[in-house]
Amino acid sequence: MRLKDKVVLVTGASGGIGFSVSELFAREGAIVVATDITAPPSPYPAGIESMHLDVTSESEWKSVVSDIVKKHDRIDVLVNNAGIIAYEPLHELQMKEWLQMIAVDQTGVFLGMREVIPVMRKQRRGSIINISSIWGSAAVAGAHSYHAAKGAVRNMSKNAAMTYVADGIRVNSVHPGFIHTALTDAQAPELNEVVIASTPMRRGGQPIEVAYGCLFLASDESSYVTGTELVIDGGYLAQ
C-alpha cells in the first residue's frame, strides 16, 4: 500500500503505460482517476474511476480537475502520460502534423501541470510525473516533432520542479526506451527491430516496468527526488 489513499490522475490511461500505471497504483492503495479520449479495450480493474479527457483541451482539463477536487478534495499525483508518435524528418514535416504532435505531447503536459499545480500548492505537497522518452535526451534520424516535444517535456519538468519546490511539489520526468505497447506494435517491425537491436538488454520493455518507476516517484519514498530524469531503457542511453 505504497500509495494508500493518494488521489492520482493519469492521462492516456486506456492502454500501454497509462493502463499499467493506473492498475499498479490502484493495487498500491491509490484512488486512481484514469483519463483518455477512448475507453480501454478491457475494463479497468475495480476501484479505478474513468473520465474522458482530451489533453489538448483547456476546458476539459479544467472540468476534470474541478470534478476530481469536488469529489476527493485533493490531487496528490499527476501522471502526464498521454502521447502520440510520428517519424517524419524535418524537411517532410507538414504544419498540421507538427501542431498535432506539439498539442498532444507538449501542450497537454503544460495544461495538466497548469491546472493541477494550484491544487497542489494549496495542499503544500504533490508529485508530478511527466512521461518523456529517450528521444527527449538523445536523437535518431527523423521523428523531428517527437524529439522536439519530448525534449521540451524534459526541460518543462525541470523548470516546474525548481519553480514549485518551496510549495512541496516534486516534478520529475520518466524516459522510457522501446516499450511494447499498442503504439509500438502498430509500427513497422523492421523499425522496432533496429531499436531493440541497439538496446544493450536486447529486448523491449514492458509497460509494467515503466509503471514501477512511476510508483517510486509517486510514493513518499522519493521525497528527496525532484527535477530528475528517470531513464527506463534497457541501457540504451548508457552507450
pLDDT in tens, 175-196: 999 999 988 888 888 889 999 9
Among candidate residues 177, 217, 183, 172, the one with its CA nearest the CA of residue 197: 177
Which residues are the active-site residues?
146
Q: How many domains does the chain have?
A: 1
pLDDT value of residue 47: 84
CA 193 – CA 173 distance, rounded (Å): 26
CA 202 – CA 189 distance, rounded (Å): 15
What is the domain-level CATH number for residue 226? 3.40.50.720
Q: Are 207 and 40 in contact (CB under 8 A)?
A: no
Give the rounded percent of residues in the chain with a pLDDT score beyond 90: 92
- Banded pLDDT at 37 (limits 50, 70, 90): very high
Q: Whole-number mean pLDDT of the chain? A: 96
- Banded pLDDT at 222 (limits 50, 70, 90): very high
Q: Please state the length of the chain.
A: 239
Say if 34 falls within a structural domain: yes
CA 88 – CA 46 distance, rounded (Å): 40
Say if 1 falls within a structural domain: no
- Banded pLDDT at 113 (limits 50, 70, 90): very high
pLDDT value of residue 42: 86
171: containing domain: 7-238
- Would you say residue 88 has pLDDT above 90? yes
Say if 2 falls within a structural domain: no
Mean pLDDT of the region 60-70:
98
Say if 139 falls within a structural domain: yes
Q: How many CB atoms lie within 10 A of CB 141?
A: 7
Question: What CA–CA distances, in Å, run from 7 to 180, 213, 232?
Answer: 27, 18, 25
Q: Cα-Cα-Cα-Cα dihedral of 210, 49, 228, 74, to 10°?
A: -160
- Would you say residue 160 has pLDDT above 90? yes
Say if 141 falls within a structural domain: yes
CA 69 – CA 84 distance, rounded (Å): 28
CA 127 – CA 228 distance, rounded (Å): 12
Mean pLDDT of the region 108-115:
98
